[in-house]
Amino acid sequence: MRTICLLATLSIFSFQANAAALNHDSANKLMMKSGCMTCHSIDTTKIGPAYKDVGARYAAPDAATLAYLKGEKPLDYLMKKVRAGSKPGVNKNWIKSKEGKTYGLMTPNPVSRISDADLKDLITYILSLK
Ligand code: HEC
């Protein structure tokens, strides 16, 4: 009986985990709600890099990107970076876009704007883009 209850609980949890995965529309809604949209778009360069360029960079990291990550997983690193914002000489990573545009700086993004769970879902989605 105990085993059956445990299995039922586990399957509910895994269903919820799957249900949280974002798609283009739900990611856009979350970006709008959390203020990311001011500087980012999924497909085009704005003040910050297009999310699909971010996904592509971490899917196939070059030597500079690997040095920047210092052995951390992209998801862990980016959770901290998006919270803290970018600081020149410390963690500014994106310099110029493919179109030759110089990127600005990312302001900090506090929990009052996006919860840890939502931020994790959004970065997981960004890292799935190529
Ligand atoms: C004020 C503008 C601004 C806002 C608001 C903003 N960003 Fe950014 N973001 C940037 C800029 C500019 C960069 C690239 C500069 C750099 O390397 O730090 C960047 C970089 C990033 C990166 C790549 C970081 C890296 O080091 O590879 C991610 C991921 C990201 N932003 C996610 C988010 C999310 C999620 C939000 C909303 C919660 C958000 N940003 C809000 C401007 C912004």
State pLDDT tens for residues 1-11.
Answer: 565 555 555 55
With 0-12 / 13-18 / 19 or more C-beta atoms within 10 angstroms meaning exposed / middle / buried, residue 14 is exposed
The answer to whether 94 touches 130, Cβ cutoff 8 Å, is no
The dihedral built from the CA positions of residue 73, 25, 29 and 51, taken in this order, carries a sign that is positive
The neighbour count for residue 33, using CB atoms within 10 Å, is 12
Percent of the chain with pLDDT strictly greater than 70: 85
Under the banding of pLDDT at 50, 70 and 90, the label for residue 89 is: confident
Q: Is 106 in the pocket of ligand 1 (CB under 6 A)?
A: yes
Give tens-digit pLDDT for 18-38: 456 999 999 999 999 999 999
Q: Is 107 in the pocket of ligand 1 (CB under 6 A)?
A: yes
Under the banding of pLDDT at 50, 70 and 90, the label for residue 54 is: very high
CA of 45 to the centre of ligand 1 (A): 11
Q: Mention every residue, 6+ apart, whose C-beta is less than 8 A from residue 23.
A: 125
Q: Considering only CA atoms, which of 130, 119, 111 is closest in space to residue 31?
A: 119
Q: Is 68 in the pocket of ligand 1 (CB under 6 A)?
A: no
Q: Is 78 in the pocket of ligand 1 (CB under 6 A)?
A: yes
Q: Mention every residue, 6+ apart, whose C-beta is less than 8 A from residue 115.
A: none
